[in-house]
Amino acid sequence: MAYKELQRKLQIQKLRYKHPKLFNQDKGGGKFDKYESLPFVLLNGLNNLYSKIQSQVIPYFENNNIVWWGDDEKYPTGHLLSSQIQCLNFLFALRNEKHAVLALANLFDSEIDDVLETLNEIETGYIAFEFVYENEKLLGENDFGAKRGSKCTSIDAFITALKKGKKILIPLEWKYTEVYLKCENKSIEPRKGKVRQNRYNHLIVKSTQLKTPVDFEDSIYYYEPFYEFMRQTLLVEQLISQGIADDYLHVVVIPTENIGLLDNNYIFSKDDLQTTWRNSIVDQEKFKIIDSKQILQAIENLPNYTELSNYINQRYF
């Protein structure tokens, strides 16, 4: 059975029988898209979040004008398989604790010495969520109704760190049950395709990390999930070119069990995800895939986060 189906069954089981308190006794049967009474969608999306962060996440999204994924851009989705929700459930409670975020950064790179306050945020903290930074200027993303978290390059979680005196950007792309079996070529989509090529192709040529393809229109850069990886790489490179940082480490969080995402032979490359992307970049040290279980283990090793680690364990594993 596919990982997504297994996770859907697991979440429904936890909701109905094993851990209903995790969801504030929400019975499920909510609406998503055009479908109603879905057992894997909560009636109240707030119950999808770890209880200790609920009162903080909503104002954080409101104050930073961040769009929620799902049916309602102003309110958290009740969909139990949301990767946005999972990312917040793992990381949001850590965002104001420097030692906790440093421990997380050390999971990605053991030589990280310190973490810095977030860039371009109203509130102080050490992790930014749905991160953007003058994308309309740096990447030309100023149309298609771009908002933070929607229709522009928004990075799921973002850490700024210090390593041997250099400022390092750590963008995190968070995946949960996503698969991309029916990939559409975003470079030839009517109206938007040419705009995308005009926006990104010249930046890809200038990139020191992305290899220039022979044929942009048929390159992996315009197929998901590599379309996301490409834009995230370009954004951090632009930040570095502006003198905001010295280097970066691009981290993608993917459960090892999600072989539909990791091991699928993508029709345009005939390789798995990691091989496909690594064949397209220059510096292999700047890219890393992490299992979400590794992040849980890092949280379990932190003092004073037993309740959070218990919640994550009960909720997702």
pLDDT band at residue 234, thresholds of 50, 70 and 90?
very high
**More confidently predicted of 117 and 151:** 117
Is the whole model's pTM more than 0.85, yes or no?
yes
- In the prediction, which pLDDT does 3 show? 97
Nearest to 92 by CA among 69, 134, 59, 116: 59
Q: Tell me, what's the pLDDT at 63?
A: 93
- Residue 1, pLDDT above cutoff 80: no
Residue 159: the pLDDT is 98
**Neighbouring C-beta atoms of residue 144, cutoff 10 Å:** 13
SS3 content of the chain, % helix, strand, coil (to 5): 40, 15, 40
Q: Cα(221)–Cα(199) distance, rounded to whole angstroms?
A: 13
For the chain, the C-alpha Rg in angstroms (whole number) is 19
Q: Is 258 helix (H, G, I), strand (E, B) or coil?
A: coil
What distance in Å separates the CA atoms of residue 89 and residue 50, rounded to the nearest whole number? 6
User: For residue 116, what pLDDT is reported?
Assistant: 97
Q: How confident is the model at residue 181 (pLDDT cuts 50, 70, 90)?
A: confident
Distance (Å, whole) CA 43 – CA 118: 33
- Compute the residue count for the chain: 317
Model confidence at 146: pLDDT above 90:
no
pLDDT at residue number 60: 96
Query: Would you state the pLDDT for residue 188?
Result: 94
Supply the pLDDT for residue 182: 79
Instruction: Share the mean pLDDT of the chain.
Output: 95
- HSE-CB at 246 with a 13 A cutoff on CA atoms is 8
Q: What burial letters (b/e) apply to 299-317, b meaning 16+ CB within 10 Å? A: beebeebeebbebbeebbe
CA max distance for the chain: 55
Q: Of 128, 131, 152, whose CA–CA distance to 141 is shortest?
A: 152
Residue 123 pLDDT > 90: no
pLDDT interval class at 219 (50, 70, 90):
very high
Residue 142 has pLDDT above 90, yes or no: no
Lowest mean pLDDT among 133-137, 281-285, 294-298: 133-137
The Cα-based distances of 309 to 6, 294, 312 in angstroms read 22, 12, 5
